[in-house]
Homo-oligomer: A and B are copies of this chain.
Amino acid sequence: MNTVSSKAQAVRPGRPRSQERRLAVLHAAAELALEDAAAPTMDAIATRAGVSRTTLYKWWPSPSAVLLEGLLEHFHESIELDDALPVREALTGQVDALVHLLRDTAAGTLLRGLMAASSSDRTVGEAMLDTWLRPRREHAVHHLHRGIADGSLRAGTDVEIVTDALFAPVYHRLVWGHAPLEDDLAERICDLVWSGIAAP
């Protein structure tokens, strides 16, 4: 009992500092990657963040996982959950932010590189899902459920398919390059999707 309680006490004051170091690592990973438009090594991240390589591997299973969580954190405002906004505006904003971050920052090149790596390395694919796509999709799904609840979207809206239809065209254009990531892309996608899901 005593041991447990003294352990808890030992851990408690450490928490905020470890949280700070964790954020320092995420910032370092995102900064390095966006500066060089290339995935940084664990060593480079550790050096910039001032933590040991061992600590890094204790917290993240792979360089891709640190990098993706760093990017998620860095671009977090692009998926902020502002429930005061009408659902359509919130989601158009998220699609538009994705267009801009893939087109106007090194994130586009970085994500293309990670997608390429994921075709031969399963751990990269898992990191991409867990630390990039799923958290971003959850925010979109949250807004869609909010729309169904407030009556602005049809009951029975297929939220998974709607989320694919909203965001997949942006990634699709990034990968294939058949058409550019235009300024009005988000608006055009949302126009199409909303005519399908807006409550009558």
Which residues of A does B touch, CB under 8 Å? 112-113, 115-120, 125, 128-129, 133-134, 137, 158, 160-162, 164-165, 167-169, 171-173, 175-179, 188-189, 191-197
Contacts and interface: CB of A to CB of B under 8 A. Distances in A.
Nearest to A170: B168
A106 to B, nearest CB: 14
A120 B117 CA distance: 11
Contacts of A160: 179
Contacts of A113: 119
Contacts of A119: 112-113, 115-116, 175
Quick one: copies of this chain in the complex?
A: 2
Contacts of A188: 158, 161
Contact of A171 (B172, B193, B195): B172
A178 B161 CA distance: 12
A161 B116 contact: no
Contacts of A162: 192
Given A164-B172, A165-B192, A169-B161, A178 B137 contact: yes
A184 B14 CA distance: 50
B197 A195 contact: yes
